[in-house]
Amino acid sequence: MAKKTPGLNTGSMADISFLLLTFFLLTSSINTDQGIQRRLPPPLAPDQEVPEMNRRNVLQILVNKHDQLLVNGEVLTDVRQLKNRTKEFISNPNNNSSLSEQHSKYIEDLGENIMVSKGVVSLQNDRSTSYSMYVSVQNQLTKAFNELREEYAQQHFGKSFDKLSETQKKGVQKIYPISISEAEPSNYGGNR
Amino acid sequence: MEGIDKMGRFKKTGKKGVPELNMGSMSDIIFMFLFFFMVITTMRESSLFVVIQIPKATEIQKLEKKALVSSINIGKPNQNYIKKLGPEPRIQLNDQFAEPKDIVEFVEVEKRRRNEVERTMITWSLKVDEKVKMGIVTDVKQELRKASAFKVNYASRKDIER
């Protein structure tokens, strides 16, 4: 006659696994990294010349050590004004001669010629500018470009930028590339 | 017709009381939970020696692949280190303090950890305290450019639009 194995008491198994569960819940974090993404330019070769640009095609943004903004020689009191200034500069709806030039460019992904701005945003900050100010400036600039893309998508495709197909998105991104140039840091003294 | 009387009513016979629940599958369910959480979460990375409160922004994007993110932390040393190192902001790479000149080597090491295809796709997440001055951040950015690590992310948290 075969021996009967006594049944294991598995009642406490649930408790043990609960304990493990709570342990993992406490030690782990679900939140993923998020933030503003940028591409840094490759380093300048020593003999490379900085390309000359027409004055009207540059939106010069300076941030000083007191976190104050100067846009094309004009003081901005609030960072939030920066978004509209950038949008106006890039899109130049009234063909103003002091804002960026527009030129026709063939966009492969959309298969047609579209007027594209030559404008570049030049951003320069002091070594003593606070990081939070820098991020809010970058945030405003990103917002300007995102809104331009969104407006284009609404006008030409009748739907939100997020809902466009991948090629359409690429095309719209090429019409409004995030053209921010950060000046090479100049050594104007000051301490770290 | 057992347990029912002539009138068709239930008779009070046998044992009374709630039948015992079978708890055997309980552990399976909990284990399933456990694995679910283990898969979707990641262990907290190396502990921070610096105090970081990342700035707020509205136009933030999520970084898709966690395996392709390397972090560079910049902030004031925390309570345990502030006496030794002073209140100046410091850089922390993995689990040690570093200087801007160490970035190039750090980039090399991080690249070697990934395979050939993924190397150019690494995002360098700058986790910087909002009170830090741009000087040190600019230095780090210059070093990243030297090391051809171009894809950067300025870590920020969601701000509600006003």
pLDDT at residue number A10: 72
With an 8 Å Cβ cutoff, are A41 and B129 in contact?
no
Closest by Cβ to B134, choosing from A32, A40, A131: A131
Is the Cβ–Cβ distance between A21 and B135 less than 8 Å? Answer: no
Closest by Cβ to B57, choosing from A18, A130, A136: A136
Is the Cβ–Cβ distance between A124 and A183 less than 8 Å? Answer: yes
Site of tokens 């100010």? A133
Contacts of residue B42, defined as CB under 8 A and 6 or more positions apart, other chains included, come to A28, A29, B66
pLDDT at residue number B11: 66
In chain A, the residue whose alpha carbon lies closest to the alpha carbon of B133 is A130
Task: Compare A175 and A29 and report the one with higher pLDDT.
Answer: A175
Mean pLDDT of chain B: 83
3-state secondary structure of B16: coil
In chain B, the residue whose alpha carbon lies closest to the alpha carbon of A137 is B57
Least confident of A51-55, B25-29, B44-48, B120-124: B44-48
Task: Measure the CA–CA gap between A58 and A72, rounded to whole angstroms.
Answer: 9
pLDDT at residue number A138: 93
Calculate the dihedral angle through the C-alpha atoms of B141, B147, B151, B155, rounding to the nearest 10 degrees.
-40
Instruction: State whether residue A34 sits within 8 Å of chain B by CB.
Output: yes
Band of residue B43 on the pLDDT scale cut at 50, 70, 90: low
Say yes or no to pLDDT of A192 above 50.
no
Residues B3-40 have pLDDT tens digits of: 666 777 776 666 667 887 777 787 788 888 888 877 77
DSSP codes, A93-155: TT--TTS--EEEEEETTTTEEEEEE--EEEEEE-TTSBHHHHHHHHHHHHHHHHHHHHHHHHH
Mean pLDDT score, B50-76:
87
State how far residue A32 is from chain B, nearest Cα, in angstroms. Answer: 7
Task: Measure the CA–CA gap between B104 and B141, rounded to whole angstroms.
Answer: 11
C-alpha distances in Å from residue B41, one per residue of A133, A171, B45, B66, B118: 32, 35, 12, 10, 22
State how far residue B16 is from chain A, nearest Cα, in angstroms. Answer: 23
With an 8 Å Cβ cutoff, are B131 and A129 in contact?
no
Beta bridge partners of A28: B43
Band of residue A190 on the pLDDT scale cut at 50, 70, 90: very low
pLDDT at residue number B162: 55
Task: Compare B65 and A1 and report the one with higher pLDDT.
Answer: B65
- The helix (H) or strand (E) run that includes residue B142 is helix B134-146
Task: Compare B83 and B42 and report the one with higher pLDDT.
Answer: B83
Is the Cβ–Cβ distance between B158 and A155 less than 8 Å? Answer: no
Least confident of A67-71, A188-192, B79-83: A188-192
Which of B27, B42, B88, B121 should we substitute to test contact with A (largest number of A Cβ atoms within 10 Å)?
B27
Task: Measure the CA–CA gap between B3 and B38, rounded to whole angstroms.
Answer: 51
In chain B, the residue whose alpha carbon lies closest to the alpha carbon of A39 is B151
C-alpha distances in Å from residue B152, one per residue of B5, B72, B93, B112: 81, 10, 15, 18
State how far residue A176 is from chain B, nearest Cα, in angstroms. Answer: 16
Name every chain A residue with its beta carbon within 8 A of the beta carbon of B43. Answer: 27-28
Mean pLDDT of chain A: 83
Say yes or no to pLDDT of A150 above 60.
yes
Say yes or no to pLDDT of A182 above 80.
yes
| ipTM for the whole complex | 0.75
Two structure tokens written together for B120:
């150019």
Band of residue B74 on the pLDDT scale cut at 50, 70, 90: very high
Task: Compare B153 and A113 and report the one with higher pLDDT.
Answer: B153
Task: Measure the CA–CA gap between A192 and B133, rounded to whole angstroms.
Answer: 8
Mean pLDDT score, A98-109:
83
Which is nearest to B161 in space by CA: A143, A3, A127? A143
Band of residue A191 on the pLDDT scale cut at 50, 70, 90: very low
Least confident of A55-59, B109-113, B135-139: A55-59
What letter represents residue B1's amino acid? M
3-state secondary structure of B46: coil
What letter represents residue A124's amino acid? Q
Band of residue A143 on the pLDDT scale cut at 50, 70, 90: very high
Calculate the dihedral angle through the C-alpha atoms of A42, A191, A59, A47, rounding to the nearest 10 degrees.
-40
Residues B89-132 have pLDDT tens digits of: 999 988 889 998 999 999 999 999 888 888 888 999 999 998 99
Closest by Cβ to B30, choosing from A14, A28, A190: A14
Say yes or no to pLDDT of A189 above 90.
no
Name every chain B residue with its beta carbon within 8 A of the beta carbon of A138. Answer: 57, 154
pLDDT at residue number A137: 92
Is the Cβ–Cβ distance between A132 and B55 less than 8 Å? Answer: yes
Is the Cβ–Cβ distance between A61 and A70 less than 8 Å? Answer: yes
With an 8 Å Cβ cutoff, are A14 and B43 in contact?
no
With an 8 Å Cβ cutoff, are B27 and A10 in contact?
yes
Share of chain A above pLDDT 70, in %: 91
